[in-house]
Structure 1
Amino acid sequence: MIWNSDTWQVHKARKGDPRALEVLLARHRPRVEGMLRRLTGNATETEDLLQETVVIAYEKLDQWKGRGAFSTWLCGIAFRQYGTLRRQQKNLPTTLLEESFEPAAPLSDPFALLSQVEAQDALEAAIAQLPEYYRSVFVLIRVEGFRYKEVAELLEIPLGTVQSRLGTATRLLYAKLAPLITHETACEGGCPTTKGTPHAL
């Protein structure tokens, strides 16, 4: 076990210090909450899952061995709770994106697109519209930094399926964001804009 600030707080929490657990959860709440928000697209579900994650983390604190980041361990708990919720829901929302789109441009990284158009809201909206099985893989790997093997274990799917879903998710996001790049390029010479109004998707 590598000793750092998180490890020390976990050690104190295991010894019965309630303040230590509060510090840990406050420190890592933004990452866990952000992941759940992107996965669910629903504030109420996000908050409910966040509370469930806190309870389970408290109950299973002894299971964290310190071999990975504490925030990653928390995200794993949160994602499993999210998976349980989704299995209980019979009708998932349909996607607004076309899965058959193949980008012609050489740039296929949605985050690179984001840096060009500076449209965080556009990327968040596009992620929310991905089918759940693509969105989960994309959020876990590209946003939260999970390794492919970790995602395969979390989702209980082959490694090749993880890679395939990530590739499809990237293409779908490119399909949604590429028009913004086209608009920005066309307007480099100066296009009329309405201040405060985002580009239409």
Structure 2
Amino acid sequence: MTGDTYAEATTPDGIDALARRAQDGDRDALELLLGAIRPRALNVCRGVLPYTPDAEDACQEALLNIANKIGSWGGRGRFTTWMHVVAVNSARTTYRRMKNQAVPADPQATGSHERPDPRTTSVIAGTRLDLLEAMESIERDHPQFVEPLLLRDVYGMSYEEIAEQVGAPLGTIKAQIHHGRKLARPLLRGSE
């Protein structure tokens, strides 16, 4: 691929064009598309999983999901908006899988270390991931609030982009984000 072709493939219009060609079965277009969006997908995953190897695993899962489910992109909005949602969901899935596989350390084996607060400490990377824990908690009873809230408050997408992506009226999206924030606030404060 020449420099001009690559630059064109990384513009929003170029990415949309590659995605349409990939949907039509063009394998070369799919490979170019995945290469063009990988840095973006990795950044999305890093926003959820700050430990680089975890983010890279989630990014790989996101790219596989994109390749396998490219036909589900409706073409209503930008492909990158759809890709954003797939990457967020892949990162959250990777986090859940790693959390479920984590084995707590034996406090007797290493001495008298205090156990970290699971609401604010990642079982994977030892970093603060209380937002993910809050989203997990909210999702149990109010799953409709989680995706719009993450897309708005973590990834900074506009209300209009979110409404287009999830296929809901703009007023509904704003209300879901407002209610999601109200539910998340006390969970993020911790037990101070």
Is 1:53 the counterpart of 2:62? The answer is: yes
Instruction: Report the equivalent of 1:131.
Output: 131
Q: Decide whether aligned partners of structure 1 residues 131 and 60 sit closer, same or farther in structure 2, where only a CA change above 3 A counts.
A: closer
Instruction: Report the equivalent of 1:95.
Output: 120
3-state SS of 2:65 partner: helix
Instruction: Report the equivalent of 2:151.
Output: 140
Q: Decide whether aligned partners of structure 1 residues 16 and 152 sit closer, same or farther in structure 2, where only a CA change above 3 A counts.
A: closer
- Give the whole-Å Cα distance in 1 for the aligned partners of 2:34 and 2:66: 9
Corresponding letter in the other structure for 1:80: N
After TM superposition, the structure 1 = structure 2 runs for residues 6-155 of structure 1, keeping only pairs within 5 Å, are 6-88=15-97, 89-90=99-100, 93-95=118-120, 129-132=129-132, 133=134, 140-142=151-153, 143-145=155-157, 147=159, 149=163
Q: CA deviation at 1:138?
A: 6.2
Instruction: Report the equivalent of 1:162.
Output: 177
3-state SS of 1:60 partner: helix
Structure with bigger helix share is 2
- Give the whole-Å Cα distance in 2 for the aligned partners of 1:171 and 1:70: 34
Q: Is the 8 Å Cα contact of residues 134 and 168 (structure 1) preserved in structure 2?
A: no
Q: CA deviation at 1:84?
A: 2.6
Q: What TM-score do you get using the length of structure 2 for normalisation?
A: 0.53
Q: Is the 8 Å Cα contact of residues 36 and 49 (structure 1) preserved in structure 2?
A: yes
Q: CA deviation at 1:146?
A: 5.3
3-state SS of 1:131 partner: helix
- Give the whole-Å Cα distance in 2 for the aligned partners of 1:144 and 1:69: 15
Q: 1:90-135 CA distances to partner (integer Å, 9 max, x unpaired)?
A: 4794328xxxxxxxxxxxxxxxxxxxxxxxxxxxxxx955431369
Q: 1:51-71 CA distances to partner (integer Å, 9 max, x unpaired)?
A: 111111111111112111111
3-state SS of 2:75 partner: coil
Q: CA deviation at 1:73?
A: 0.9
CA RMSD of aligned residues (A): 4.0
Q: Per chain length, whose mean CA-contact separation is higher, i.e. which structure has more relative contact order (CA < 8 Å, sep 6+)?
A: 1
Q: Decide whether aligned partners of structure 1 residues 159 and 20 sit closer, same or farther in structure 2, where only a CA change above 3 A counts.
A: same
Provide the aligned length of Structure 1 versus Structure 2. 138
3-state SS of 2:74 partner: coil
Q: What TM-score do you get using the length of structure 1 for normalisation?
A: 0.51
Unaligned runs of 5+ in 1: 97-126, 176-201
Q: Percent identity?
A: 25
Q: CA deviation at 1:8?
A: 2.0
Q: CA deviation at 1:152?
A: 11
Corresponding letter in the other structure for 2:73: W
